[in-house]
């Protein structure tokens, strides 16, 4: 097939099934080998993995899924992480990949595989309703992929980075001796550490909105920036 996008359908029939046949729409994209491809509706909140139907918040962490999104080099904490320039700003290239939102370079926080990138949504997009995302690898750039934007898009981080299951929630009760217990039931053979009424816990997430003072995209915050009032239940 020539390069381009093709649309069609697949029909599945099963004898005796009440809903047979089922027709499934399919989009086939034929590309030059090695060209990065962002999956359809495959840009998600980097903590909860909620897809872009829920929109992204500027400044938050997003996960991009697709194919050929990097050179295949895995870079994830604690063994690998972003590099900083002389000004303390994240260098926006990792594993051979670069990501832009409306042409603005987005810091890449980790590259778990060639099919996933975790990036910071540029804070410069504040006030916009949408943006266009592109990934460039080895000089080849993906087709633009649209995302919706919203001031707030909270998502909680899970300990296995899947967006599901046990949350990344710590108990401060032992903080005075440098230990913070994961607030969790029995996990992978580890002892249970339930929180008791009155305990202070720390909940990790992303997408809580703009902060004051505003931290520039890709920079470490100075001091303790505050977001808008947040309630937790």
- What is the pLDDT, as a whole number, of residue 50? 75
**Confidence (pLDDT) at 187:** 55
pLDDT above 80 for 8: yes
Q: What is the pLDDT of residue 190?
A: 56
pLDDT band, very low/low/confident/very high, at 131 (cuts 50, 70, 90): very high
Mean pLDDT of 7-30: 93
The average pLDDT across 123-129 equals 95
Mean per-residue pLDDT for 121-139?
A: 95
pLDDT in tens, 166-193: 788 888 766 554 556 777 665 555 556 7
Q: What is the 3-state secondary structure (H, E, C) of the chain?
A: CCCEEEEEEEEECCCCCCCCCEEEEEEEEECCCCCCEEEEEEEEECCCCCEHHHCECCCCEEEEEEECCCCCCCECCCCCCCCECCCCEECCCECCEEEEECCEEECEEEEEECCEEEEECCHHHCCCCEEEEEEEECCEECCCEEEEECCCCCEECECCCCCCCCECEEEHHHHHHCCCEECECCECCECCECCCCCCCEEECEECCCCEECCCCCCECCCCCCEECCCCCC
pTM over 0.85: no
- Give the mean pLDDT of 27-39: 88
Residue 100: per-residue pLDDT: 97
What's the pLDDT at 72?
A: 92
pLDDT tens for each residue of 40-85: 889 999 988 876 457 899 999 999 999 999 999 999 888 888 889 9
Q: Encode pLDDT of 200-222 as tens digits.
A: 888 888 999 999 988 899 998 88
Min mean pLDDT across 77-91, 111-125, 150-164, 197-211 is at 150-164
């Amino acid at each position: 097939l020539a390069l381009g996008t093709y649309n069609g359908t697949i029909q599945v029939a099963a004898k005796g099934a009440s809903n047979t046949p089922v027709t499934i729409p399919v989009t086939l994209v034929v590309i030059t080998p090695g060209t990065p491809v962002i999956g359809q509706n495959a840009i998600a909140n980097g903590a909860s993995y909620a897809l872009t139907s829920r929109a992204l918040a500027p400044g938050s962490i997003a996960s991009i899924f697709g194919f050929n999104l990097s050179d295949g080099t895995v870079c994830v904490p604690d063994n690998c992480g972003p590099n900083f320039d002389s000004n303390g700003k994240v260098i926006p290239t990792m594993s051979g990949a670069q990501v832009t939102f409306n042409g603005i370079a987005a810091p890449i926080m980790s590259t778990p595989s060639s099919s996933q990138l975790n990036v910071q949504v540029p804070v410069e997009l504040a006030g916009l309703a949408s943006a266009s995302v592109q990934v460039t690898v080895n000089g080849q750039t993906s087709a633009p992929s649209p995302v919706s934007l919203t001031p707030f898009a909270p998502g909680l981080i899970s300990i296995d980075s899947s967006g599901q299951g046990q949350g990344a929630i710590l108990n401060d009760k032992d903080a005075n001796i440098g230990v913070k217990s994961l607030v969790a039931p029995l996990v992978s053979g580890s002892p249970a550490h339930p929180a008791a009424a009155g305990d202070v816990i720390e909940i990790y997430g992303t997408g809580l909105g703009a902060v004051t003072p505003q931290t520039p995209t890709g920079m470490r915050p100075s001091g303790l920036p505050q977001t808008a009032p947040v309630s937790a239940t």
